[in-house]
Amino acid sequence: MEEQKYKYIRKGDGTVCRLIRIGTRKSELARIQTKSVAEKLKELHPDISLEIVAMSTIGDKILDTALSKIGEKSLFTKELETALEKNMVDLVVHSLKDLPTTLPPGFTIAAVLKRENPHDAVVLHPKHVGKTLDTLPEKSVIGTSSLRRAAQLKRRFPHLEFKDIRGNLNTRLKKLDEKEDFAAIILAAAGLKRMGWENRISQILEPGDCMYAVGQGALAVEVRAKDTDLLEMLSVLNDTETVLRCISERAFLRHLEGGCSVPVAVHTLVKDSQLYLTGAVYSLDGSESLKDTMQTSIAASDKSSEEGDQQEEHVGVTALKVCSVSQANAERLGVELASLLLSKGAKEILTVARQLNDAR
**Which part of the chain contacts ligand DPM (CB under 6 A), choosing from 123-131, 212-220, 248-256, 305-313?**
212-220
Binds ligand DPM by CB under 6 A, chosen from 23, 217, 279, 334: 217
Rounded to a whole number of angstroms, the minimum distance from the CB of residue 16 to ligand DPM is 36
Rounded to a whole number of angstroms, the minimum distance from the CB of residue 94 to ligand DPM is 8
Report angle CA 265, 240, 264 to the nearest 5 degrees: 10
Q: Amino acid identity of 13?
A: D
Asked if 222 is part of the footprint of ligand DPM (rule: CB under 6 A), the reply reads no
Measure the CA–CA gap between 38 and 52, rounded to whole angstroms. Answer: 8
Of residues 122 and 260, the one with the C-beta less far from ligand DPM: 260
**Which part of the chain contacts ligand DPM (CB under 6 A), choosing from 90-98, 240-248, 249-257, 288-296?**
90-98
Is there a contact between 154 and 162 (Cβ–Cβ < 8 Å)?
yes
Asked if 150 is part of the footprint of ligand DPM (rule: CB under 6 A), the reply reads no
Of residues 262 and 298, the one with the C-beta less far from ligand DPM: 262
Rg (CA), the chain: 21
Of residues 253 and 333, the one with the C-beta less far from ligand DPM: 253
Please give the C-alpha separations between residue 288 and each of 138, 282, 343, in angstroms, as whole numbers. 23, 6, 15
Asked if 109 is part of the footprint of ligand DPM (rule: CB under 6 A), the reply reads no
Binds ligand DPM by CB under 6 A, chosen from 216, 238, 248, 329: 216
Task: Give the active site residues.
Answer: 98
Binding pattern to ligand DPM, positions 14-53, x when CB under 6 A? ----------------------------------------
Q: Which residues bind ligand DPM (CB under 6 A)?
A: 67, 95, 97-98, 144-146, 148-149, 187-188, 190-191, 213, 216-217, 260
